[in-house]
Structure 1
Amino acid sequence: MVGIERWRMGNDGKGGRKNLRMPEDDEVFATVTDMLGANRVKVRCADGQERTARIPGKMQKRVWIREDDVVLVSPWDWQDEKADITWRYEKADADQLRREGHIQ
């Protein structure tokens, strides 16, 4: 196995399932639909709502979030149309979530 094949299957050479972070009780899957600026994005959540989500300070320079990324968001208790982003999935991880039926 050389190059892209090894990368696609992981370092161990097996193409098995990867354990991914799943949503906790107060979190929901979402897809980024629009970049609003000022560390804010528009997301479409798995529960059918469209929310404005904040990118927290600890993620701003370390994790780059783009349109069509799959993320976990934590909706606000006091204002349902807003949320905080808690996790961003890599493209391969998002594909695995789609294959397993967790997201569409």
Structure 2
Amino acid sequence: MSFLYEIMGDYGEFEEVIEGEGSENPVSENGEVVSRVKLPGKGEFIGKVVQRYGGNRMEILCTDGKSRNCRVPGRFKRKMWLRPGDIVIIEPWPDNDDKGEIIFQYYSAGVNQLRKKGLLDGLNKEF
């Protein structure tokens, strides 16, 4: 949340100052906006949505080379609108490695960062 207020500058005129604006998006030396991207944790994989089956189930091609039947948990049903080609983080079920749950969806900025880090090399290059 930023607040707008005016202060008197060095030469007597008023300047607008927006608090909190510079700290939200830090800029690197190259002029690029620095943003952090969520990485998969222990036991999680990055995957690509291949096909939607219906009933909140989808076929996901993972970076470990397996194709899993994953579902969207109820708490994410309205938040995640997934299409074929989207990049997600999945968590395989402990008892069945062929199934899993989708726990995070990447947007275009996150996908570009993952591509720069080389984390999407295990998937097809077509996206």
- Whether the TM-score (by the shorter chain) exceeds 0.5 is yes
Tell me, yes or no, if structure 1 residue 100 matches structure 2 residue 114: no
Indicate the residue corresponding to 2:34 in structure 1.
Answer: 17
Shift of 1:93: 0.9
CA distance in 2, matches of 1:86, 1:62: 11
More helix by share: 1
% identity of equivalent residues: 31
Q: Is 1:86 the equivalent of 2:103?
A: yes
Deviating above 3 A after TM superposition, structure 1's stretches of 4 or more consecutive aligned residues are 11-14
1:35-80 CA-to-partner distances (Å, cap 9, x unmatched) read 1100000000000000000001111111211111100000111111
- Code of the residue aligned with 2:60 in structure 1: it is V
Deviation at 1:12, TM superposition (A): 6.6
Describe the SS at the equivalent of 1:94: helix
Q: Which runs of 5+ in 2 are unaligned?
A: 1-24, 122-127
Q: Which has the higher contact order (CA 8 A, sep 6+)?
A: 1
The alignment's TM-score, normalised by the length of structure 1, stands at 0.83
User: Partner of 1:52: helix, strand, or coil?
Assistant: strand
Q: Alignment length, in residue pairs?
A: 95
Select which of 47, 60, 83 maps to 1:30. 47
2:85 corresponds to which residue? 68
Contact 1:41 1:54 in 2 (8 A): yes
Bigger CA radius of gyration? 2
Contiguous gaps of at least 5 residues in structure 1:
1-10
Q: Alignment RMSD, CA only?
A: 1.8
One-letter amino acid of the counterpart of residue 59, structure 2: K
